[in-house]
């Protein structure tokens, strides 16, 4: 067992650290709410837009451990690029694992170069945690699928060039009647709603509408009826990425709090000398360490072809809860200043919350973990 | 055109520094390190020259195992191979000793130019490059802001004081000390990082280059390292308001130098 980074992983980490400090942070400080295209394109130039996918499709060919390290580092200092990369990774993962050769050739290299931005469209107004309850329909008519329905909270919605969409192809079959499609922006009938403004997400989400959206038959990814399996497979891996970005956020809040506790004077000494603050700092550090170990283990299991979905859920649960706790305590340590927009920790606090909700709420994660634990008693 | 770049690894800029137990240098435990800034610019300039004129970029650095990380970074950015002076005998705060070691290791290398950073971010002597040039019998130019190789040598733009510049022509091979800001630094890329795994890092010990104990003797030593001592001095300026203000302005301008 080894807890140290390899030389290459450390180099990657440093590369991202450098990039975040030199370009990402300054850009985000002055940018509005539009999608950060220059930063995204730069990810492509640096070879970071497709880290764990095969080199033959332009990817980095590295493992999930390296990917997780990069995502954590990209989320340091409260930057949003880690989440951008994680979301972009979902359609890539699905195309790579379930797409046919021509779909892979068509999309993966361009996504690796960050010329095409990806999005993942599963959630609907009435189907969040209960993903099998989606209502968007896809009907095969001749050589075309006609899609009708509505998606909500779609990250990169309206900005993304390609959408991995889940839709029902056979009604009444529940999760077995769902299929997945790759739909390009500009497809007739594909429309976008207003910007939604989820707390702490810089780049916002949009509703996505399919109004008799006509897509060629070749846009089906995998087989008809496999869509739910496809989505769940993507989310299993996606949970490692959400854990990683939450870790970066938590670490950032902790670093700020530690340094502030050392500087801020009260009653004639630095507040870090008071046990009340020390215990908070110790608990924050312990929560981050623990969550990081589980996240790395989840990546390790995945990299070694071992079952990892329960551990990935644990990682997601622990890391996002740690981020919520650590950012909350960071605000507390900053006191009144912690609530001020002139100081960094309130933004991290606002950012942390959504981690407990996306990619399966933390209640859903517990269901997944329990189901795995109890599986062996069932036939 | 083959270019050698001398790199030094120094504590990261945002490090929290503590004085070591012997009071002669900083406590090096728990520090993170990075390539000295001016050296990073020297490397970047070498890579740009290589992209324009072809050839090879060789990086050379002296220091313990941790230095490998900066060497790897240089290789990931595009340097072709590296020489790592690993012998503890080379470790010295004396620029002449370091220059002697570098000169020994470069004796059998074929190069057209050697770049160093103008000065390191830790000791800041700005001497290694010049002493190295002397030892190798090369012409040198300092504080270089532009490099233009020509048929018969190299034209360089040097930075002088107060915004003045100077163009100098040197025959090659030559040594140039590069000023920070000469170009824009690139990042390593994922591909570069992976490619660096296969690049050569030649380790050099003292015996390999005939470097002896007597070569390692420092002509200078650090007496004491300490944080700037804060002193407080209050001066009351007497006189009429207008005169006092004029005096204050003078002091701010010439003593405190805040204008």
- Confidence label for B2 from pLDDT (cuts 50, 70 and 90): very high
3-state secondary structure A309-371: HHHHHHHHHHHHHHHHHHHHHHHHHHHHHHHCCCCCHHHHHHHHHHHHCCCCCHHHHHHHHHH
Q: What is the mean pLDDT of residues B179-197?
A: 95
Of B187, B193, B197, the CB nearest to A18: B187
φ, ψ of residue B58 to 5 degrees: the values are: -115, 125
Chain B residues inside the 8 Å CB shell of A69: none
Tell me the average pLDDT across A272-284: 98
Domain A7-112 has CATH 1.10.540.10: yes
B194 and A46: CB-CB below 8 Å?
Answer: no
Comparing C-alpha atoms, which of B62, B6, B57 is closest to residue B178? Answer: B6
**Distance between CA A168 and CA A152 in Å, rounded?**
16
A359 included as an active-site residue = yes
Mean pLDDT, to the nearest integer, of A196-220? 91
Does A170 have pLDDT greater than 90?
A: yes
Contact B190 A7 (CB under 8 A): no
Cα separation, B25 vs B23, whole angstroms: 6
For chains A and B, CB pairs below 8 A equal 41
Q: How distant, in Å, are the alpha carbons of A207, B77, B246 from that of B249?
A: 63, 50, 5
Report DSSP letters for chain B, one per residue: --EEEEE-EEE-TT----B-TTSSSB--TT--EEE-HHHHHHHHHHHHHHHHH---EEEEEESSTTHHHHHHHHHHHT--EEEEE--GGG--S-HHHHHHHHHHHHTT---SEEEEESS-SSS----HHHHHHHHHT--EEEEEEEEEEETTEEEEEEE-GGG-EEEEEE-SSEEEEEPTTSS-PPPP-HHHHHHHTTS-EEEE-GGGGT--GGGG--S-------PPPP-----PPPS-HHHHHHHHHHIIIIIS---
A176 confidence band (pLDDT: 50, 70, 90): very high
Spatial contact of B94 and B196, defined as CB atoms under 8 Å apart: no
The DSSP secondary-structure symbol of A127 reads: B
Report the top-level CATH class of A118-226: mainly beta
Q: Which fold has domain A229-375?
A: Butyryl-CoA Dehydrogenase, subunit A; domain 3 (1.20.140)
Query: A304-335, pLDDT tens digit by residue?
Result: 999 999 999 999 999 999 999 999 999 999 99
Interchain proximity B193–A8, CB inside 8 Å: yes
Domains of chain B: 3-216 (3.40.50.620)
pLDDT at A29 (0 to 100)? 84
User: CA A152, CA A197: separation in Å to the nearest integer?
Assistant: 12
Q: Which residues pair with B97 in a beta bridge?
A: none
Q: B233 falls in which pLDDT band (50, 70, 90)? A: confident
The residues, any chain, with a CB within 8 Å of residue A1's CB and separated by 6 or more, are none
Which residues of chain A lie closer than 8 angstroms to B82, CB-CB? none
A46 touching B (Cβ < 8 Å): yes
Query: Which residues of chain A are within 8 Å of residue B193 when distances are taken between CB atoms?
Result: 8, 11-12, 15
Which of B187, B189, B194 is facing A8, going by the closest CB pair? Answer: B194
Q: Which residue of B has its CA nearest to A8?
A: B193
3 state SS of A262: helix
Over chain A, what is the mean pLDDT? 95
Q: Measured between CB atoms, does A263 come within 8 Å of chain B?
A: no
Residues of A in contact with B189 (CB under 8 A): 15, 45-47
Query: Do strands B3-7 and B113-117 pair parallel, antiparallel, or not at all (unpaired)?
Result: parallel
Q: Where are the alpha helices (DSSP H) in chain A?
A: 7-19, 25-30, 37-45, 64-74, 81-98, 101-112, 227-263, 275-303, 309-334, 345-353, 362-374
DSSP state at residue A125: T
Q: How far is CA B6 from its chain centroid?
A: 7
Q: Chain A residues with CB inside 8 Å of B196's CB? A: 11
Q: Which of B72, B76, B190, B198 to mutate to test the interface with A (most CBs of A within 10 A)?
A: B190
Taking the Cβ of residue A12 and every Cβ of chain B, the question of whether any pair is shorter than 8 Å is answered with yes
Helix (H, G, I), strand (E, B) or coil at A248: helix
Which chain B residues are closer than 8 Å to A47 by Cβ? 189-192
- Collapse the DSSP code of A147 into the 3-class scheme (helix H, G, I; strand E, B; otherwise coil) and give the result: strand
Of all residues in chain A, the percent with pLDDT exceeding 90 is 91
Query: Which residue is listed with tokens 């490998």?
Result: B68
DSSP state of A1: -
Tell me which chain B residues have a C-beta less than 8 angstroms from the C-beta of A19.
187
Q: What are phi and psi of A191, to 5 degrees?
A: -135, 160
Task: Give the active site residue among A72, A73, A124, A359.
Answer: A359
Is residue B259 over pLDDT 80? no
* A219: closest CA of chain B, how far (Å): 31
Q: Which residue of B has its CA nearest to A17?
A: B187
A51 vs B: CB within 8 A: yes
Q: Do B189 and A46 touch (CB under 8 A)?
A: yes
Based on the number of CB atoms within 10 Å of its own CB, is B247 exposed (0-12), middle (13-18) or buried (19 or more)? middle
Q: What is residue B231's predicted lDDT score, i.e. its pLDDT?
A: 83
Interface test with A, best of B69, B187, B199 (most A CBs within 10 A): B187
Alpha-carbon gap: B239 to the closest alpha carbon of chain A (Å): 40
Residue A361: is its pLDDT beyond 90?
yes
**Among the listed residues A252, A250, A356, the one whose alpha carbon sits nearest the alpha carbon of residue A24:** A252
Predicted TM-score (pTM) of this structure = 0.90
Query: What are the residue boundaries of the structural domains of chain A, listed by start?
Result: 7-112, 118-226, 229-375
Percent of chain B with pLDDT over 90: 83
Predicted ipTM of the assembly: 0.87
């Amino acid at each position: 067992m080894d807890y140290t980074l390899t030389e290459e992983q450390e180099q990657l980490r440093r590369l991202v650290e450098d990039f975040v400090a030199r370009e990402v942070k300054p850009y985000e400080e002055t940018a509005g709410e539009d999608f950060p295209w220059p930063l995204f394109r730069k990810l492509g130039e640096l070879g970071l837009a497709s880290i764990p996918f095969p080199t033959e499709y332009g990817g980095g060919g590295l493992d999930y451990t390296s990917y997780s390290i990069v995502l954590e580092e990209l989320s340091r200092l409260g930057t949003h690029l880690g989440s951008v990369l994680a979301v972009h990774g979902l359609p890539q993962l699905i195309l790579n694992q379930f797409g046919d050769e021509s779909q892979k050739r068509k999309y993966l290299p361009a996504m690796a170069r960050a010329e095409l931005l990806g999005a993942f469209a599963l959630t609907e107004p009435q189907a969040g945690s209960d993903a099998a309850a989606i209502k968007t329909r896809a009907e095969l008519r001749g050589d075309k699928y006609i899609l009708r329905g509505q998606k909500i909270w779609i990250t990169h919605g309206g900005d993304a060039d390609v959408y991995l969409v889940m839709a029902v192809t056979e009604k009444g079959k529940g999760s077995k009647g769902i299929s997945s499609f790759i739909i390009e922006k500009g497809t007739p009938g594909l429309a976008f709603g207003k910007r939604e403004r989820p707390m702490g997400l810089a780049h916002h989400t949009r509703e996505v509408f399919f109004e008799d959206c006509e897509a060629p038959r070749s846009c089906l990814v995998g087989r008809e009826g496999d869509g739910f399996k496809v989505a769940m497979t993507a989310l299993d891996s996606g949970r490692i990425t959400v854990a990683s970005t939450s870790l970066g956020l938590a670490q950032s809040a902790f670093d700020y709090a530690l340094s502030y506790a050392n500087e801020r004077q009260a009653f004639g000494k630095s507040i870090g000398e008071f046990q009340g603050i020390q215990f908070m700092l110790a608990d924050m550090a312990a929560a981050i360490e623990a969550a990081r170990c589980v996240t790395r283990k989840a990546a390790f299991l995945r990299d070694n072809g071992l079952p990892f979905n329960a551990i990935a859920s644990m990682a997601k649960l622990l890391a996002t809860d740690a981020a919520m706790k650590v950012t909350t305590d960071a605000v507390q340590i900053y006191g009144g200043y912690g609530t001020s927009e002139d100081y960094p920790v309130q933004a991290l606090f606002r950012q942390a919350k959504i981690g407990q909700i996306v990619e399966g709420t933390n209640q859903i994660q517990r269901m997944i973990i329990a189901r795995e634990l109890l599986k062996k008693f069932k036939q | 055109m083959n270019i050698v770049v001398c790199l030094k690894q120094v504590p990261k800029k945002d490090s929290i520094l503590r004085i070591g137990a012997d009071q002669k240098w900083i406590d090096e435990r728990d520090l993170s390190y990075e390539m000295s800034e001016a050296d990073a610019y020297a490397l970047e300039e070498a890579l740009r020259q290589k992209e324009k004129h072809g050839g090879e970029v060789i990086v050379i650095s002296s220091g313990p195992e941790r230095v490998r990380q900066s060497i790897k970074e240089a290789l990931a950015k595009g340097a072709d191979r590296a020489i790592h002076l690993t012998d503890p005998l080379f470790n010295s705060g004396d620029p002449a000793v370091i220059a002697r070691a570098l000169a020994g290791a470069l004796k059998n290398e074929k190069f057209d130019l050697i770049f160093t950073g103008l000065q390191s971010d830790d000791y800041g002597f700005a001497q290694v490059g010049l002493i190295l040039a002397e030892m190798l019998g090369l012409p040198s130019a300092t504080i270089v802001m532009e490099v233009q190789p020509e048929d018969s040598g190299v034209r360089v733009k040097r930075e002088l004081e107060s915004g003045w510049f100077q163009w100098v022509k040197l025959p090659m091979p030559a040594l140039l000390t590069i000023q920070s800001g000469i170009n824009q630094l690139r990042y390593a890329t994922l591909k570069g990082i992976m490619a660096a795994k296969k690049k050569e890092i030649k380790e050099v010990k003292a015996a390999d280059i005939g470097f002896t104990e007597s070569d390692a003797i420092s002509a200078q030593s650090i007496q004491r390292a300490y944080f700037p001592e804060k002193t407080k001095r209050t001066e009351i300026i007497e006189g009429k308001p207008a005169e006092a203000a004029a005096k204050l302005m003078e002091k701010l301008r010439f003593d405190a130098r805040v204008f």
